[in-house]
Structure 1
């Protein structure tokens, strides 16, 4: 006896189950034709070129293209590429008096600080700046009790993975160690995000993009580290050399022998450059005054 045949709707109408399967073949053929006519990018560089073309055709905004390119570039970077090197880290000594610690925190302006004991390489915890205020109200409080756990990451750790860890563990700072277990530097979630969105502005940043030199309330000048030297010469009526370095930050670092740290002072050409803010191993802002004249 023959097997019963499945019933079909009268009138030869297609069932809903039949529609997708019958429609798939034409769609696949169309996809193959489109790929032949417009092959997709085969490398990151080609993908970046495609994004640039999309921006030119006004399919995506310039800001979107920059962020997408940042994501692609970030995938190729590691913690060692972005970290603040150990010599430039702002650290707190667990044995330092409260007033000294408070002064360092105010000058540095960070929200989190690695804390060391004995040697700078012996980091024992992370202190939140806001937690330091608790000692002011309770002088008997032990600073060690306020320390947060440290997160250590190798220099080779990819930024993609590091960002995922920052988000899942709710940490904003990690200590980077080299292959021998020594402190190589530190990296924050802001450092990682800046690889995607560009520099994150803070209270010192130029909001209007019109100038890199501002007059402060006390009469001194705030000068960006990337301000060009001719602009500095014009603003202060001086003649700093313009042929060897493009920016005032480069000239100050050369005269100082290294990039100065936050709070350090360098005198050049009758001006006093006090470092207000550093970022990524470079000076972001100087406070500039004239050298006091005797008599």
Structure 2
């Protein structure tokens, strides 16, 4: 092997190393955790600060990587052809194509990208000084490419909206949860926060049938009994009908240090806050904060009372169920045996669908509402119907609605039965 061939080999080796560098740098910057890099930069890590700044001008970074990678790969292919033609003669071009392709794939693409994918922040910091210098070197070319990009965007009217959809965010949280980057509780909190802005007041309210309220003309002994029985600190006040709510009375105003207040209910009640059932709950939260209120009356499309929503209901959408010493723990799904369950009809219909592995597409909130919808009439004790693999029977009713149902699984394999037994 003469000196020319040795020179070819040395330059080709350098090209492979640079190809690996560019490939790894691209992967590192596309998958690095910007929060970690920012945290390191704030601690005074100079390379982390440089990596953070480079990640913010990703277009220039990517253009430089692609230019550099193409230059070294083209140079490698050309030198490889010269080297193998010189070494084996007329078949050198074919041999060069095979060998260079394999070498670039293994050592210039797959291996460096795998390493960078596993250690994106470390490699991004390592590569930052070199790639920053190359960005400066290729600045004229990057400028030309930026003009070309603007022209292409204008010609094809590409969408510049890079915001992630709610579905994409939820999928991302699911992925990091499965990877173990966040635990189950943190993942659920993130999902609740993402879904929070899309939910409406009607999804979380207490229906009018379940509202504990007082008539403005009720005697104070009766009001005291309702406060004691309900354990609520605030009660809506209506006049003649629940559709005419005129105020909210607070327990601290009803009771004084000497017992029940001597003032009338009209004197101590505060004006109610009214919101439509379509109000987004993030907007509802702003309304409650603005009026310094913990409770709002939800109106239907005709202006009647549809339900009631509290600050606690909103917070539970983010952090899950909030229990205090007065809350009664209600078991929504009570197992009778492997195939039979008693279900509280006030349970959330989404939880019901998840528990029994049903595909339910409905805007209805409670199981009781779903039962009435399936029956297409006011439920009565003994009403029965079948849905998918479930036989459902109304066992208790209250105020023209189902309060308890019995669910029988009519078709279930052993795996499904085991799943239910473990869930309870």
TM-score band, normalised by shorter chain: 0.5 to 0.7
Shift of 1:190: 0.9
TM alignment of 1:119-268, pairs within 5 A: 119-134=241-256, 137=259, 140-203=262-325, 224-226=330-332, 228-230=334-336, 245-247=341-343, 254-258=394-398
Q: 2:180 aligns with which of 52, 58, 73?
A: 58
Partner in structure 2 of residue 110 of structure 1: 232
* Partner residue in 2 for 1:72: 194
Shift of residue 130 of structure 1?
A: 2.0
* CA distance in structure 1 between the partners assigned to 2:56 and 2:218 by the alignment: 75
1:48 Cα shift? 1.2
Question: Are 1:29 and 2:59 matched, yes or no?
Answer: yes
CA offsets 1:199-247 (integer angstroms, 9 cap, x no match): 1122256xxxxxxxxxxxxxxxx8733251438xxxxxxxxxx856443
Structure 2: unaligned runs, 5 residues or longer: 1-49, 67-112, 118-161, 348-367, 369-393, 405-424
Larger Rg: 2
CA–CA separation in structure 2 for the residues paired with 1:91 and 1:100:
11
Tell me, yes or no, if the aligned pair for 1:125 and 1:148 is still in contact at 8 Å.
Answer: yes
> Relative to total residues, which structure has the larger strand share, 1 or 2?
1
Q: How many pairs does the alignment contain?
A: 212
Q: Which moved more, 1:45-54 or 1:142-151?
A: 45-54
Deviation at 1:77, TM superposition (A): 1.3
- Please give the TM-score of this superposition, normalised by the length of structure 1: 0.61
Shift of 1:151: 0.4
Deviation above 4 Å: which 4+ runs of structure 1? 23-26, 30-33, 248-251
Whether contact under 8 Å (2:247, 2:270) holds in the other structure is: yes
TM-score, normalised to structure 2, is 0.44
Residues 253 and 261 in structure 2, CA contact (< 8 A), matched pair in contact too: no
C-alpha deviations, 1:9-52, integer Å up to 9, x for none?
xxxxxxxxxxx9xx76994337658xx999x8843222212112
- Quote the Cα distance in structure 2 between the aligned partners of 1:111 and 1:85: 18
> Per the alignment, in what secondary structure is the counterpart of residue 398 of structure 2?
coil
Greater displacement, 72-81 / 41-50? 41-50
RMSD of the alignment, in Å? 3.7
3-state SS of the aligned residue for 1:176?
strand
